[in-house]
Amino acid sequence: MTKGTTKRMIIMLLLVGLLFAGIFGFQQFRNQMIRKMISGKGAQAQAVSTIVAEPSEWQPTVDAVGDFRASQGANLSTEAGGLVTAIHFESGKKVRKGELLVDLNSAPLRAQLAQLQASANLARVNYRRDLAQLKIQAISQAVVDADAANLKIAQAQVAAQAATIDQKAIRAPFSGRLGIRQIDLGQYVAPGGTIANLQKLDPLYVDFTLPQTEIGLIHTGDKVSIQTNAFAGKTFTGTISAIEPQIDTATRNLKVRASVRNPQDKLLPGLFATVRVNNGATQQYISLPNAAIAYNPYGSTVFIVKNGGTAPDGKPALTVEQRFVTTGPSRGDQVAVIKGITAGEVVVTGGQMKLHNGAAVFVNNSVLPANNPHPEVKDE
């Protein structure tokens, strides 16, 4: 082997050594950077909002939707046609059961009634006279029987005419509040024509449905909470008064009716209602804002704030630990955490998008997510 060949081999060995040394140094540098990133050292801290996990009482509930309806309601109409001769009510006023509302022209019928009453009186006189004659055997029993039948026929005709006259007077079938008047004085109203709407507003009914899985939850006499966006933020208390004795085979739902007191007539039939039924005894759950939970296909996670890391000014900061949790029921802006968090731990509620396990953070609670268990629904 010549000196030139030996020299070239030495150079090649040196180059190979330098190459291996560079690769080894790069790997050491990379591993060091990874360790720094994992530990949070050398990484810029991210601003997050936080909340301290605390337990609170939860009342398990089942929510349903329904509609208000009057306990009694009808469109008042006439059985017989005629001209309106008198109107005894004003639109929107309360009336009592049996109160006279409208008179239709009944003059011809009353004239006929007088004629029929005269015929009935004559039939009564004939019957009594012939009955006296029968006692002295002056007439036969057949004549007296015919007189008795004629008297009954005359009396029936009087009663029928009086009933026809009564149809000309429209009275309130029950106590309630009248709607807008649909007739005017002197107007001809055909049989079945609408006079006004009458609604009994106290109490009101709320009809709603529940899935068949909640049959054991409902009992007659139970209390329910009722809300409507017509009175935002106000809750009305109702009592379950009736339960349908069968399941709707099309929807597999159970129809339920609750009764609600309405002494001031504020609630009206047709209003949309949200009904809340209590489902068992109260429970203790750790409550978090819904924004604190990251829902993923592989499970729900949160970030827990731990000590460690470096702040932007170089001072010791905080790090986060990603943790899987098991969530339970929700209410308003809150969700219950059944497993994965203990009371007193600090949970990130905002700024999670830039976080990873071990990331450095600092707390900025100037802006916090909604955390109201019973937010009010506002119409825009």
Both 207 and 273 in a single domain?
Answer: yes
Both 356 and 327 in a single domain?
Answer: yes
More confident: 378 or 15: 15
Domain assignment present for 371: no
Both 244 and 309 in a single domain?
Answer: no
Q: Which of 278, 304, 331 is the last residue of a domain?
A: 278
Both 317 and 272 in a single domain?
Answer: no
For residues 144 and 127, the answer to whether their CB atoms sit within 8 Å is: yes
**Domain assignment of residue 52, given as a range:** 40-56+283-363
Domain assignment present for 85: no
pLDDT digit string, tens, across residues 47-96: 899 999 999 888 777 888 999 999 999 999 888 888 999 999 999 899 99
Domain assignment present for 368: no
| Band of pLDDT at residue 40, cut at 50, 70 and 90 | very low
Q: For position 231, which CATH number holds?
A: 2.40.30.170
The answer to which of 15-24, 71-80, 182-191, 286-295 has the lowest mean pLDDT is 15-24
Both 291 and 326 in a single domain?
Answer: yes
Arithmetic mean of pLDDT, 231-252? 90
Both 110 and 150 in a single domain?
Answer: yes
Domain assignment present for 214: yes
Both 359 and 287 in a single domain?
Answer: yes
Domain assignment present for 29: no
Both 317 and 340 in a single domain?
Answer: yes
Domain count, the chain: 3
Both 298 and 274 in a single domain?
Answer: no
Both 51 and 66 in a single domain?
Answer: no
Both 273 and 299 in a single domain?
Answer: no
Domain assignment present for 3: no
Q: Which of 278, 311, 334 is the last residue of a domain?
A: 278
pLDDT digit string, tens, across residues 129-164: 888 888 888 888 888 888 889 889 989 998 998 888
Domain assignment present for 111: yes
Both 293 and 150 in a single domain?
Answer: no
Instruction: Please give the share of the chain, as a percent, with pLDDT higher than 90.
Output: 36
Rounded to two decimals, what is the model's pTM?
0.59
Domain assignment present for 297: yes
Q: For position 144, which CATH number holds?
A: 1.10.287
